[in-house]
Chains A and B, each alone.
Chain A
Amino acid sequence: MNVSTIHDIGYRHYEGKRLGRAYVTRSMFVHNLRAAYGLGRPARAKVMPFILAGIMLLPAVGDIAVVAIAKRPEALFPYTRYQFMLQLIISIFVATQAPVLASREIRFHSVPLYFSRPVVHLDLVLAKLAAFTTALFALTAIPITVLYVGGLVTQVPDSGEQLLHYLGGLAACLLLSLVLGAIGLVVAAFTPRRGFGVAAVIAVLLVSGVLVSIVQGITQNTGHWTLSGWLGLFTPYSLVDAVAYRLLGGKLSAVAAPPGVGGGVAALAVCAAIVLGAVTVLYARFRKAGLS
């Protein structure tokens, strides 16, 4: 006879393993990466990130179709230019998803729950930045991977050169993801209301881009080419484009880039400063939120 019954066995103590700092940090990374794409949250949280990821893929797929049908390999987009072309979509992704990672837990006062546990402040910040960077990298790197694979399938010539450009493109994606992740999280962390956060990130990314390209145009018209190049460092997309153009063998996509390899190194240094600054600011912000 097989009778199954439910026994209330009362409270049981936990005798198993308790893992250390590395595991906790990894768990935070995975949790935040999932949150960036709305996983583990209701369906409506998944709509925006996945639609944007879909839109990111469309031009790559269309381009491959053109290359394949028209047999015109020169129509293949340069890998480093892809993210510059689609900066509006990437900006919207940053704007809608940065508040999810940066300000959601501050807004709902969940942060103290982390720091009343064995969670190190810096680990939380680094896990969030790494998770958002990875989310953005997935958003930007998958389309250019589609381009590269499509190029291989349609037998675009110079496959060795293509591979090099592709790797350069991946590096540029990673750099852009880091810079945008850093900027997005900082702006969102200081605008606790979600709507404001979205607006603030959009403002910082798009308005800075538009302003810089206008001023760059004016300076070029008046003949100040070098100045115009340096101005590109003031907005994230042309900043990363400068690194891609000067150091990673990409094509120039922004209005101008600072001159020479030195210009590329300077742009890279600005990227590093942005990321380090963001970590410092986020560290202070979450430390404060942990005491609320």
Chain B
Amino acid sequence: MPPIIATRGLSMRFPRVTALDDLTLAAPPGVVGLVGANGAGKSTLIKILLGLLPPSAGGAEVLGLDIARQGDQIRRLVGFMPEYECLPPDVSATEFVVHMARMCGLPPSAARERAADTLRHVGLYEERYRPIGGYSTGMRQRVKLAQALVHDPRLVFLDEPTNGLDPAGRDEMLGLIRRIGTEFGISVLVTSHLLGELERICDHVIVIDGGKLLRSQAVEAYTEASGVLVVEVDEGRDDLGRWLHERGVAVRPEGRLLVIDIGDETVYDLVRDGAAELELRLVRMEQRRHHIEEIFSVAPQNVPGPPGAPGTPGAQSRLETSAEELRGGAR
């Protein structure tokens, strides 16, 4: 499938900061996460992709359209939900979303119909006739999402959609974004500085830091098994640890758990035998999976990279952004 977004050597330099630095990436259709710390260049990238801000160098294509020459066509096909508050408080959600639909060229009756449909899909019902000023943060985020979807775009840019939401609201918003990507069939580029969130809803995650690309790969590649076994026993953690160590297993305690490197298959049997011999109650034994967060943290242990993903971490390669790594990581 052709990428929905492709950039080539994209750079954006402001007088005092470099927001994007030679960024080359490609994002497949589906729900794509864009992750980076605050100030990593996420919002700048979206503005450039919308054709609002000309880049200092490089180029990009959105849905196969060039941002420099076909910005107008791009803006017909995409929706944009900004990170900041962008709603006038003195109009109702219906009034506002209808207006925004008309700004996309939808005729009056279609604009009203689409606005009602979209507001229902994002979960706003009777309250949509009240002025936005009285809405909770969660409701405002829904209105912002609705105005981005009202013209049935092929791609939506969602900039920090879970900002300021409580845990329940966050879950609902994430569920909604997942539905947009799957049920609605609209590709999504969603930014966040919280990796755990994106791990749940994205098909593909792009990590940028300081305007540079750290990694771009399918979400499964981030969460592959780490070659480490986690064992929890009711009590007697240290006894089991000592027992295993005597038999030549690389083992160390971590909180209430034992962390064991999986050398070969016999480790499982050893843990079982040890627990049986010491008469311990075995609560849990599982292979630990990587989390996307690990890209940013300095490795507490030397985790061997899973096979087939040469882009996965070794502590030193963490900040490298070689083209080789990109090719290896992006499937």
Contacts and interface: CB of A to CB of B under 8 A. Distances in A.
A42 B131 contact: yes
A113 B95 contact: no
Interface of A: 10-14, 16-20, 23-24, 27-28, 31, 40-42, 45, 104-105, 108-110, 112-119, 290-292
B100 interface: yes
6 contacts: A11-B183, A14-B114, A27-B102, A112-B52, A112-B80, A118-B104
Contact of A112 (B79, B82, B104, B117): B82
Interface stretch (B85-93, B268-276, B297-305): B85-93
Given A16-B106, A112-B52, A113-B103, 10 more contacts: A17-B107, A18-B104, A23-B105, A27-B103, A42-B90, A109-B84, A114-B103, A116-B52, A118-B75, A118-B104
B99 interface: yes
B252 interface: no
Contacts of A12: 117
B102 A113 contact: no
Q: How large is the interface on B (under 10, 10 to 19, 20 to 34, 35 or more residues)?
A: 35 or more
Nearest to A28: B103
B105 A18 contact: yes
A240 B185 CA distance: 57
A108 B91 CA distance: 12
A108 B88 contact: yes
A113 B183 contact: no
Contact of A31 (B99, B105, B117, B151): B99
A148 to B, nearest CB: 35
Nearest to A8: B120
Interface string B42-70: 00000100101100000000000000000
Contacts of A11: 121, 183-185
B76 interface: yes
Given A11-B183, A108-B89, A115 B52 contact: yes
B51 to A, nearest CB: 9
A20 B105 CA distance: 6
B152 A112 contact: no
B147 interface: yes
Nearest to A287: B52
B183 A112 contact: no
